[in-house]
Amino acid sequence: MRELKKITLDGVRYIVWDELRGISPQKSGMTLLLSDRNGVGADILLVLPKNRPLAVRAYGKDGSEVAVDEGARLVASFVLEKMTMLTSGTEAAEFEAALDSVEVRLTDSFRARLFPSENSARIAV
């Protein structure tokens, strides 16, 4: 089972994928994951690279890379528990209260749909 964070900030829904817990899906897996109908449902997939977690990459619903905006950076820093905002404790608490955060657990069968090429390699072996 794979755990992800789904966070909404200012109406934008983010899913955060930490590569320390496994490689990120390819383009087709990203579109499935972000799908409102068949997946978890979000607007942006944030990928925290294994070796450089602060070098966040962002992907849109079609699986193409998009610019990492300030909201994405704030969400990533919140998930990394390294708030990078230069704010007082009160403002940080207000920011945390403004987030709508949910932990998502992907079943093994859904994960198999995210990595179809990996599954076909196992069958062929």
Would residue 66 count as lying in a domain? yes
pLDDT at 91: 53
Distance CA 19, CA 76 (A): 13
In the chain, the number of structural domains is: 1
Would residue 84 count as lying in a domain? yes
Question: Does residue 4 have a pLDDT over 80?
Answer: yes
Range of the domain at 17: 2-118
Banded pLDDT at 85 (limits 50, 70, 90): very low
101 phi and psi angles, rounded to 5 deg:
-115, 135
Distance CA 7, CA 119 (A): 29
Would residue 124 count as lying in a domain? no
Would residue 8 count as lying in a domain? yes
Would residue 123 count as lying in a domain? no
Question: Does residue 6 have a pLDDT over 80?
Answer: yes
Q: What pLDDT, in 10s, does the model give residues 46-82?
A: 998 887 767 899 999 999 999 999 999 888 888 876 4
Instruction: Count CB-CB contacts under 10 A for residue 113.
Output: 17
Would residue 30 count as lying in a domain? yes
Would residue 23 count as lying in a domain? yes
Which has the closest alpha carbon to 119: 21, 26, 18? 26
Would residue 125 count as lying in a domain? no
